[in-house]
Amino acid sequence: MPRALLLENLHPVATEILTDAGFEVVNHTGAMDEDELIAALPGFDVLGIRSKTNVTSRVVAAADDLLAIGCFCIGTNQVDLAAAGQAGVATFNAPFSNTRSVVEIAIADMIALTRRQPEFNRSMHEGVWNKSADGAHEIRGRTLGIVGYGNIGTQLSVLAENLGMSVVFYDTAEKLALGNARRVESLDELLEVADIVTLHVDGRSGNAGLFGARQIARMKPGAVFLNLSRGFVVDVDALRTALGSGHLAGAAIDVFPAEPKKRGDAFESELRGLPNVILTPHTGGSTEEAQESIGRFVANKLRDYSATGSTTLSVNVPNIALERTSGVRRVAHLHHNLPGVLASVNATLAEHGTNIEGQLLATSGDLGYVVTDVGADLVPDAVEALRKMDQTIRVRILD
């Protein structure tokens, strides 16, 4: 029976899907650090995580039984993808499943800040009636600057225009503008015109420190700032200074450079206590709808990879779409992408009298993946010969 270790409070639908597929599922409430993972992973075929658990090359090297990692979130920067791929561990994520949830909280945050709701709320709870229109604005007619025009940025762009906003965006990649949104050529150009700046960049290491004191100083006086992307992207000290001085009217921050491992742990930040700041505990994509969708999507990918060898939408191994077959055995061969591998695989099968009924090959970078459906004449010696090929990373036999 295959085994799955699921961390960080994944939606129950993930457990249900994997259990129905024949997995023994073990759930663990919080994240695990490197040493805890190394100790826990022996005997597990599948690991499910969210954003707090880091799967390093050291973890991958120690996890001999591991076949696949499921990142039940958008990002995969918490996994050493190269090390996992070289070890034959396919990695999957959910790049689209919580897009709407993040977009909705961004809209809610920008409206709340532009209308000074955090300050009014605090005053009311302190027993102070502070009815005033000073500093409170509609978002209609204001300019939204989106940094990162991917799945989230594009959907936010469309909804913001429907609310009457003008939209400008900046992305290092060439992106097609939706609706009336306008692409700008530099981050500085965006900062100079945007009344609200929102970050939706990915977790690549090159984005560390993207938004610091210089970028904040270029923002319009009285502008609002949102970060629902990655905590390490923003200089939090510089942000606090700008909020305290009044250069920025407010901020909503959902991600932080250092975050607690599990619910209930203490949270520390330089931004605590500021009246014009909305702080949320990395819940941008945490709606029940999004978490169920993510749980279903990633668990299905893990199930399909285990059962059929399908790697569709894997982020670190070549993609091949496969379905279940009957009456054949399937040889899934992940290998270093070198000339002659396919010929060697076929020659090895032929030498051992194995009839090939169907075959697919895909390559990506330095990895190759060939899946061969064979007859019942596959013998153990043929499998052992495939495993001993110099180019082989992992061989799986699926019935």
Question: Which pair of structure tokens corresponds to residue 34?
Answer: 């490197």
> CB neighbours of 308 closer than 8 A, spacing ≥ 6?
322, 323, 324, 330, 398
CA–CA separation, 312 and 236 (whole Å) = 38
- Per the annotation, the verdict on 200 as an active-site residue is no
CA–CA separation, 300 and 298 (whole Å) = 5
- Per the annotation, the verdict on 230 as an active-site residue is yes
Q: Which of 50, 282, 329, 333 is catalytic?
A: 282
Q: Which of 230, 240, 303, 335 is catalytic?
A: 230
CA–CA separation, 253 and 289 (whole Å) = 22
SS3 category, 280:
coil
Backbone angle region of 184, left / alpha / beta, with phi > 0 → left and psi within -120 to 50 → alpha: beta
Which residue do the tokens 């939090």 mark? 236
Contact 26, 43 (CB under 8 A): no
Long-range interactions of 127-135: CB distance < 8 A, separation 24+ = 135/249
Whose CA is closest to 95, among 323, 328, 293? 293
CA–CA separation, 105 and 92 (whole Å) = 25
Please give the span between the terminal C-alpha atoms of the chain, in angstroms, as a whole number.
14
Number of H helices, E strands in the chain: 13, 16
CA–CA separation, 155 and 48 (whole Å) = 28
Q: Which helix (H) or strand (E) holds 71?
A: strand 68-71
Contact 73, 102 (CB under 8 A): no
Q: Which of 16, 36, 189, 259 is catalytic?
A: 259
CA–CA separation, 99 and 25 (whole Å) = 28
- Per the annotation, the verdict on 282 as an active-site residue is yes
> CB neighbours of 380 closer than 8 A, spacing ≥ 6?
none
CA–CA separation, 398 and 372 (whole Å) = 10
Strand partners, 197: 145, 225
Q: Which residues are catalytic?
A: 230, 259, 282
